[in-house]
């Protein structure tokens, strides 16, 4: 049957596979007591206030889907009847177009496009340029779940990243690496392969106490039952930014990457908090106030001919760290775990991730003599 609207919402918090435990931790900080993890997501119940706050404050999530209906159907006639029972107007203000994303498996109604067509019936095309409200339909063993996306643009799109270097890291993944590294935001931070600056910018935002969704809007703000007073209390609860942050250094040997990183940092409002430098890893200089953490996403290579160069690059990182960063924490994202030994023997596998269809590992430890 269709689920009624209330102050409690059953939701699926979608996240990159491998970050589920970190999302659970973030939800716990919001006061959410009961969660259930699955690959790529966390299921829980949120109050309306928690729903608003989660969208604004979760650093590792991709989007938050609110369950609005569940039913079992084995024919298109039954599907159409169930679709007509859903109160679509609760989520579709005038001028907003419904969009459906359908996936089915092991169901009699197995053709995704045919299922999507049944959901789209009754929705007139508002305008080719109208804003859209996403609904997600998942069918498994004839059991269908219909959800409405409360986020809008994916939550990793913070609103500040426009300039990209090669192989950019999603903001949500960068935030997850920082959490998993156990970096203390009151201590210095270094990224010697900064690319477009995502890790350094996420670190600066966290150290200064700024929320990831503080610069953007969300789909739920357009819902007919949006509660402006509740939203105002959520936004008012944020502490003022902490402008006294530790030293933060982001370097890259590519001048274009540093230019892109600085532009992104400007849009994020943290350019003054990060020391951007064009420099190879061999010229890394230690900031004052340490020990802190070096967290980085080095080049992954991808060509057999580049394997030796990668080993040398990772070994250089290890040598520089051993000489200059004694006692510093270390976190490095790798597509090949064997390369971790070039940086430092004995690193721990902290996260196992799927990034863009490729497996990656986040290895952590400490530099020492």
Of 210, 212, 232, 211, the residue nearest 221 (C-alpha): 232
Task: Report pLDDT for 167.
Answer: 60
- pLDDT at residue number 242: 76
Task: State the pLDDT confidence band at 166, using cuts at 50, 70 and 90.
Answer: low
- Please name the helix (run of DSSP H) or strand (run of DSSP E) that holds residue 99, with its range, or none: strand 96-105
The residue that leads in pLDDT, 257 or 161, is 257
What Cα–Cα distance (Å) separates residue 51 from each residue in 14, 24, 32, 40, 361?
Answer: 13, 14, 10, 19, 31
Q: For the segment 83-129, what is each residue's pLDDT rounded down to a tens digit? A: 999 999 999 988 899 999 999 999 999 999 999 999 999 787 777 78
Beta strands 63-72 and 8-14, pairing class: antiparallel
Q: What is the DSSP letter of 146?
A: E
Global pTM value: 0.92
Domain ranges (residues) in the chain: 8-149, 171-215+245-366
- Express each pLDDT in 219-262 by its tens digit: 999 999 999 999 999 999 877 777 789 999 999 999 999 999 99
CATH level 2 (architecture), domain 8-149 = 2-Layer Sandwich (3.30)
Q: CA 319, CA 317: separation in Å to the nearest integer?
A: 6
Average pLDDT, stretch 279-290?
A: 91
CATH of domain 171-215+245-366: 3.40.50.150
């Amino acid at each position: 049957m269709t689920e009624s609207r209330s102050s409690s919402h059953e939701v699926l918090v979608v996240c990159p596979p491998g970050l589920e435990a970190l999302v659970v931790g973030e939800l716990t900080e919001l006061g959410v007591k009961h969660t259930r993890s699955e690959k790529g997501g966390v299921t829980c119940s949120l109050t309306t206030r928690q729903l608003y706050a989660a969208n604004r404050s979760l650093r590792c999530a991709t989007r938050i889907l609110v369950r609005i209906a569940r039913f079992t159907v084995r024919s298109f006639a039954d599907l159409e009847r169930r679709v007509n029972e859903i109160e679509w107007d609760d989520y579709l203000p005038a001028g907003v177009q419904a969009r459906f994303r359908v996936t089915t498996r092991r169901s009699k109604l197995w053709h995704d496009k045919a299922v999507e067509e049944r959901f789209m019936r009754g929705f007139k095309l508002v305008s080719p340029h109208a804003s859209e409200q996403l609904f997600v339909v998942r069918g498994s063993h004839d059991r269908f779940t219909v959800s409405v996306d409360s986020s809008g643009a994916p939550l990793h799109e913070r609103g500040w990243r426009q300039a990209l270097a090669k192989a950019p890291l999603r903001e949500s993944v960068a935030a997850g690496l920082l959490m998993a590294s156990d970096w203390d935001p009151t201590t210095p931070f270094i990224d010697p392969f900064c690319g477009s600056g995502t890790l350094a910018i996420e670190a600066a935002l966290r150290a200064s106490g700024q929320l990831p969704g503080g610069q953007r809007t969300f789909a739920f703000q357009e819902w007919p039952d949006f509660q402006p007073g509740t939203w105002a209390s959520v936004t008012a609860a944020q502490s003022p930014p902490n402008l006294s942050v530790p030293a933060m250094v982001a370097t890259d040997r590519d001048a274009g990457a540093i230019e892109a990183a600085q532009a992104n940092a400007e849009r994020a409002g943290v350019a003054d908090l990060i020391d951007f430098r064009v420099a190879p890893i061999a010229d890394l200089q230690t900031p004052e106030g340490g020990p802190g953490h070096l967290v980085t996403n080095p080049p992954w290579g991808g060509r057999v001919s580049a394997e030796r160069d990668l080993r040398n690059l990772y070994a250089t990182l290890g040598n520089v760290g051993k000489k200059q960063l004694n006692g510093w924490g270390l976190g490095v994202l790798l597509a090949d775990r064997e390369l971790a030994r070039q940086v430092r023997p004995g690193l721990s596998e902290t996260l196992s991730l799927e990034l863009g269809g490729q497996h990656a590992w986040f290895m952590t430890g400490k530099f020492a003599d």
